[in-house]
Amino acid sequence: MKHLTLGAAALLATGGMAVAQDEVNLQLQWVTQSQFAGYYAALENGYYDEENLAVNIIPGGPDIAPPQVLAGGGADVMLNWMPSALAARENGLPVVNIAQPFVRSGLMLTCWADSGITEPADLAGHTVAHWFFGNEYPFLSWMSQLGIGVEGGDDGVTLLQAGFNVDPLLQRQADCMSTMTYNEYWQVIDAGVTPEELVTFRYEDFGVSTLEDGIWALEENLDDPEFVDRMARFVRASMRGWAWAAENPDEAAMIVLDYDETGAQTEEHQLRMMGEVALLVAGGDGRLDEAAYQRTVDTLLAGGSDPVISAAPEGAFTHVITDAALAE
Amino acid sequence: MSALTLRPNWAWPGVLICVVAVVWALDWRLAIIAAVWLIAWGINAILARNGTPGARILVPLIFGLTLLTLWEMAVRLYEVSPVILPAPTAIAVAFATNTATLWADFVQTILRGALPGYALGCGAAVLTALAIDRSRFLQKGLLPVGNFIAALPIVGTAPILVMWYGFGPSSKIAVVVAMVFFPMLVNAVQGLKESSAMQRDLMHTYAANYWQTLFKLRLPTALPFLFNGLKICSTLALIGAIVAEFFGSPTVGMGFRIKIEVGRLAMDMVWAEITVAALAGSGLYGLMALAERWLTFWHPSQRRG
């Protein structure tokens, strides 16, 4: 019966008739940029319309915590890094991963080569600038796995809370800085630094990567079959958007630029970002890889005296949505 | 006590019970909250009207406790998510279990950032005011520049100052100085104009030189304005030091903590920091108000009795 009504709705939508569409408010992890190209592509190409969805994409920013927007009812669904979402879950906000478009992590540490750092163990005694606001968890658990403190001194890392730009590295206030393969790394390069002057450590290469940019919803909503159906359609259309964006990176980047209301993004940067982001989503169909989930949880639990989460989460993900989305 | 004053005392509870009953029909949780509020209000009204000894302390105390109780009840009865608004008891627990962290943040932000910046900024403003007072050239030229600096938004200047002065307290001091300098300067310049021409003439006839006139006449008459500036700047200094930490800081400090704990959804800790900030702000303001009362006892606004 559900399929029947769904099919009828899709027919109506493609017929160009005005139908009451189901609303979905999506809270992004960060400002409008190619990191979210799949969603903008799905919106622009009408994939959401075809699923009878009216999707409202809400950009984030430096002072927006997506879990809080979700808790406050400002969004139905959010994009969030798994460390931050699991920490929120442990802090009393039961969020559930319903799909995982990003299969690889784009997080890395970028250091000046002349600082004498050749491997992560050399970080002791150096200064590292990092963003906080929930983004610091992967770094903190990596350091505690390496046995390096973050309280400064000769055997520890001196940690600085950086704003969301790469100035601390460029000005050498820090020897290393946290960067994303698709964003900040290129800001350093654009500032006139050559790749040879830098040493980079990708979390993926060291087995400490954690999942990024998953789709999360509130647990209580998942009891509602209507919500589950709506999310299945949302995930299906979003994954179509991602597949299209990965195949047409240049067009996808241009769509993102069109949707950037701030006008802050440049064409060159977005094209490059889209190329890098395509590598992170490649091979995924939205279904959460449980091995990657387990690695994330293990990394977060291995935080020594100060783990990000204190117990392995129960029910923090579900395949119900992706199974329904992929069934078609 | 006449019947006239008695009647409202007896009529009001009846009206209130009716109100609570009506609200109960709509939403029992709201009715309970309303009942507690009305009872506390009634107690305060009776205390205030009868002039009970100690009412001056009791009334605000009951008022504050009522607010906290209502907050706690609202959060519990409506099951508000702790991510949105934690209960006062949860904040108290966070405060009590994190005193070491809160103290380290207090030292970093208030003692190393806000207070030195406050002293430097206000001190420099008073010295500048003296220079402006002596020179017509500065009066025409410097005040507009000061105005300009005061109009700069902190979110614009803070990242730049962090870049210039590093992540430590010096950049926070710089932000605070930039924030407090102008309000203090305006007050100091105005204060120095307070002594009348007659008073200055009198000093002249005493053969007092510039410095004697300054210390014995002009600065004392300027005090109400100076304290006005100091009180305004006491809160500005705290805001400046805390907000500046949002744009770059070591991993300690009140602004840093507020920012990361928001990201971690530990709102009880954020509120604990807000409590520290409120206490520190009230303390500094109270200190200034006390000093003002002590030093400007002669001013009409401070005379008592």
Q: Which of chain B's residues have a Cβ under 8 Å away from the Cβ of A71?
A: 81, 83-84, 265
What confidence tier does A188 reach under pLDDT thresholds 50, 70, 90? very high
| CATH for A107-206 (3.40.50.10800, 3.40.190.10, 3.30.428.10, 3.40.50.620) | 3.40.190.10
Residue B231 clears pLDDT 90, i.e. is over it: yes
Same fold, A11-104+211-326 and A107-206: yes
Residue B1 clears pLDDT 60, i.e. is over it: no
What confidence tier does B280 reach under pLDDT thresholds 50, 70, 90? very high
Residue A310 pLDDT:
80
Residue A154 pLDDT:
79
- Residue from B265, B267, B269, B271 to probe the interface with A (highest A Cβ count within 10 Å): B265
Q: Which of residues 34-73 of B touch A (CB under 8 A)?
A: none
**Closest CB to B260 among A68, A132, A160:** A132
Q: Which of chain A's residues have a Cβ under 8 Å away from the Cβ of B164?
A: none
Residue-averaged pLDDT of chain B: 87
Q: Which of chain A's residues have a Cβ under 8 Å away from the Cβ of B262?
A: 63, 65, 68, 133
Instruction: For A157-180, write each residue's pLDDT tens digit.
Output: 888 888 778 888 998 889 999 999
Residue A146 pLDDT:
86
Rounded mean pLDDT, B124-151? 83
Say how far apart CA B90 and CA B297 lie, in whole Å.
Answer: 43
Instruction: For A201-235, write each residue's pLDDT tens digit.
Output: 999 898 888 999 999 999 999 999 999 999 999 99
Q: Which of chain A's residues have a Cβ under 8 Å away from the Cβ of B84?
A: 68, 71-72
**Closest CB to B167 among A88, A132, A173:** A173
> In angstroms, how far is CA A168 from the centroid of its own chain?
23
Give the predicted TM-score (pTM) of the model: 0.79
Residue A5 pLDDT:
52
Phi, psi of A80 (to 5 degrees): -155, 150
Phi, psi of A29 (to 5 degrees): -75, -25
Residue B263 pLDDT:
79
Q: Do A67 and B265 touch (CB under 8 A)?
A: yes
Residue A2 clears pLDDT 60, i.e. is over it: no
Residue A197 pLDDT:
92
Say how far apart CA A269 and CA A296 lie, in whole Å.
Answer: 29
Residue B2 pLDDT:
46
Say how far apart CA B154 and CA B160 lie, in whole Å.
Answer: 10
Q: Mind telling me how many Å the CA of B164 is from chain A's nearest CA?
A: 10
Q: Which residues contact A2 (CB under 8 A, 6 or more apart)?
A: A225, A229
Residue A63 clears pLDDT 80, i.e. is over it: no
In percent, how much of chain A has pLDDT > 70? 92
Residue A4 clears pLDDT 60, i.e. is over it: no
Q: Which of chain B's residues have a Cβ under 8 Å away from the Cβ of A84?
A: 263-264
Instruction: For B191-202, write each residue's pLDDT tens digit.
Output: 988 888 888 889
Residue A246 pLDDT:
92
For chain B, say whether A266 makes contact (Cβ under 8 Å): no
Q: Which residues contact B281 (CB under 8 A, 6 or more apart)?
A: B234, B235, B238
**Which ranges constitute the DSSP H helices of chain B?**
3-26, 28-50, 55-77, 88-97, 99-106, 115-134, 136-151, 154-165, 169-192, 197-205, 210-213, 219-244, 254-263, 267-295
Rounded mean pLDDT, B13-21? 78
In percent, how much of chain B has pLDDT > 90? 41
For chain B, say whether A87 makes contact (Cβ under 8 Å): yes
Residue B304 pLDDT:
61
What confidence tier does A34 reach under pLDDT thresholds 50, 70, 90? very high
Instruction: For A234-252, write each residue's pLDDT tens digit.
Output: 999 999 999 999 999 999 9
Q: Mind telling me how many Å the CA of B44 is from chain A's nearest CA?
A: 35
By CA distance, what is B265's nearest residue in A?
A88
Q: What value of ipTM does the predicted structure carry?
A: 0.74
Residue B303 clears pLDDT 80, i.e. is over it: no
For chain B, say whether A191 makes contact (Cβ under 8 Å): no
Rounded mean pLDDT, B171-175? 93
Rounded mean pLDDT, B134-148? 79
Residue A307 pLDDT:
67
Residue B84 buriedness (CB in 10 A; 0-12 / 13-18 / 19+): middle
Rounded mean pLDDT, A67-91? 90
Q: Which residues contact B124 (CB under 8 A, 6 or more apart)?
A: B177, B181
Residue A6 clears pLDDT 90, i.e. is over it: no
Residue A16 pLDDT:
46
Say how far apart CA A196 and CA A61 lie, in whole Å.
Answer: 31
For chain A, say whether B155 makes contact (Cβ under 8 Å): no
Instruction: For A248-297, write each residue's pLDDT tens digit.
Output: 999 999 999 999 888 778 888 999 999 999 999 988 889 999 999 999 99
Residue B110 clears pLDDT 60, i.e. is over it: yes
Say how far apart CA B128 and CA B122 lie, in whole Å.
Answer: 10
Q: Do A163 and B159 touch (CB under 8 A)?
A: yes
Rounded mean pLDDT, A315-324? 92
Residue B4 clears pLDDT 70, i.e. is over it: no
Q: Mind telling me how many Å the CA of A131 is from chain B's nearest CA?
A: 9
How big is the CA angle at A40 (ends A34 and A46), to the nearest 5 degrees? Answer: 150
Instruction: For B44-70, write each residue's pLDDT tens digit.
Output: 888 888 777 778 888 889 999 999 999
Rounded mean pLDDT, A147-155? 81
Q: Do B256 and A158 touch (CB under 8 A)?
A: no
Pairing of strands A95-99, A127-130: unpaired
Instruction: For B240-263, write each residue's pLDDT tens digit.
Output: 999 999 888 888 999 999 988 887
Residue A1 pLDDT:
45
What confidence tier does B6 reach under pLDDT thresholds 50, 70, 90? very low
Q: Which of chain A's residues have a Cβ under 8 Å away from the Cβ of B167?
A: 160-161, 168, 173
Q: Do A92 and B83 touch (CB under 8 A)?
A: yes
Residue B101 pLDDT:
92
How big is the CA angle at A54 (ends A51 and A57), to the nearest 5 degrees? Answer: 115
Domain residue extents for chain A: 11-104+211-326, 107-206
Residue-averaged pLDDT of chain A: 87
What is the sign of the dihedral through the CA atoms of B272, B276, B282 and B283?
positive
Q: Which of chain B's residues have a Cβ under 8 Å away from the Cβ of A308?
A: none
- Residue from B81, B85, B246, B271 to probe the interface with A (highest A Cβ count within 10 Å): B81
Q: Do B265 and A159 touch (CB under 8 A)?
A: no
Q: Which CATH architecture has domain A11-104+211-326?
A: 3-Layer(aba) Sandwich (3.40)
Residue B146 pLDDT:
75
Say how far apart CA A284 and CA A292 lie, in whole Å.
Answer: 12
For chain A, say whether B106 makes contact (Cβ under 8 Å): no
Q: Do A161 and B265 touch (CB under 8 A)?
A: no
Residue B167 pLDDT:
87
For chain B, say whether A146 makes contact (Cβ under 8 Å): no
Q: Mind telling me how many Å the CA of A15 is from chain B's nearest CA?
A: 43
